[in-house]
Structure 1
Amino acid sequence: YEDTWLKLQAKAHAFQKAYGALAPDPRVLQFGADLKRVAAVVSYTRASLGEEELNWGAYSAKIREMLRKHLDVTGLATVIKQRDLSDTAFWAAFEAPPAEQQSAAVSVLNSLKKVAYEAAATNPKQYASFAARVTELIQAFNQGMVAAAEALAKAKGIADGIQSEQHAHQGSGLNERAYGIHAILKAHVVKQAEAEPTDDDEAAQGQEGEAEDGEGADGEGADAGDDGEATGGTPTGPKRRPLTPLQQAALAIDALYSSDESAPPWWHERVQLRKTLRQRVRVALKDLGLQGWQHEIPQAVDAYAVKRYKKP
């Protein structure tokens, strides 16, 4: 299947190059309709597979304009466009009437794969499971195992989950980037639990889990300030539980990469400075008893920071 798809794309590209090189020879112009159909098939298939949009830069300006007009007229331009979760058109697709659900499912899954994969690339600990679910759903949909209506329903569940995770920091006492760091650290607490923890480890984990009962996507049991930071409570509202050692470490690491003093502009391109920052991350983690605190976690934090704390 993959070999056939790659061969089709190669032949389509060769056809496009030949047409572009020979046009406007009258003997070639008669194949213009074929070129449009080929471009439409390739574009729609790429969208169905959740692949990136067709590389229009490979086409000449004249042919590019001709094909874009064709996709607009046929409605394929709407289907293959990759949208973000903040785009109202993305959510509108879930309300498509039965006759339009097939193309709506293709459009939604195409956009959702991009969103999930980009999020997972930034922080696998938070979003890798969403990316895996999208991939599984796309495969099932393309194999005819899932109807369009069911695919849309499942896609909405995944999209809602991603959106909830994006706002999960609210009410946690952490800002969004610090919450991402906390997710990395917390994943290694779970690993430690699986590795037959000591009595001290179990006590520390109990403290972490108990404090986190009040944090979540809906912020229940927590009283957040306007920016989602920790507050001391008000006479009319409940006082937030104190931050756990893991949350405090996440905030310390967030401050480390946010500061222009410790992480000045272009820090991410300075090898020695990145090494120094990883060493300071180790210092922040060494007393928490986390598995992988010496190498694995600092490397994961570094990869996350390059994407979320890059300056400029």
Structure 2
Amino acid sequence: MTTGVTAPGVVRVHVPGRSVRHDLRAIKIVLHREMLRFLNDRTRMVSTLVQPALWLFVLGTGLGTLVSRGPAEGVDFRTFIYPGVIAMTVVTTAMFSAGSIVWDREFGFLREMLVAPVGRASIVIGKCLGGGIVATVQGVIILALAGLVHVPYSPTLILTLLGEMFLASVTITAFGVSIAARMKNMQSFFGIMQMAIMPMIFLSGAMFPLAGLPGWLAFLTKINPLTYAVDPMRHAVFGHLSVSPAAMEALNPGVHWFGWRVSTGVELALVALMGLALLGLAIAQFRRTD
């Protein structure tokens, strides 16, 4: 007599389908994780502020004794480089936020996100928004130092700089994510980051005026995307200062295309368009990530 053995019942696993609600929740979770990672990393918070503080107070004070002559006399050089230091702070922080994708890949967390029933675009958007908010929060600390370099604490100025900082930081985070999506280790990412970010900062007019440059250097500043993020910040700062017309022309000449000064609105629109293009590139790169 053969005794029949009943196979145990098969448990059906239900995987929820993708929906807009799930994608929005994924964006929120990734953004929240970026904020928690930033708040729990005190060393990162302090270290990313050391270099901007050195540029602002050490280099700015030292060079100020040499360059505050002629039309710029009477204007503290630290006041001039203040918008550039803000840009440097948010750019560096945004790139570090983007680089955390490489850490997630090395420790396996990225694979868990990729197999979740949500669109990969939502992961990238959450990452870019989180990086933008983190970089903006870091930039707020530099904003708090405005009075030390003779920049007024005007509510209008602060709100303007906050908006411009957030736009620039989201754009740079998208740029970093598009690079980090294909990187396998942090050494490679940081090498590319230094190769890309440092020339962008130095060629943005963050540390020197855009007026009277040699032709080749003026051309490089005009094709540098970061120039169109730094110039609106400087325009906002100088719009709240009492300086002579000669000093304004020397230190805040703006960006010119064929004799036409590019307006602040056009510059911010260019940064926003670059941000959208880089976000699309980052999503495309992420979809090809294994």
Q: TM-score range, shorter-chain basis?
A: under 0.3
Q: State the structure with bigger RCO (CA 8 A, min sep 6), 1 or 2.
A: 2
Please report the TM-score for the alignment, with normalisation by the length of structure 1.
0.24
Q: Considering only CA atoms, is the larger Rg found in Structure 1 or Structure 2?
A: 1
Please report the TM-score for the alignment, with normalisation by the length of structure 2.
0.25
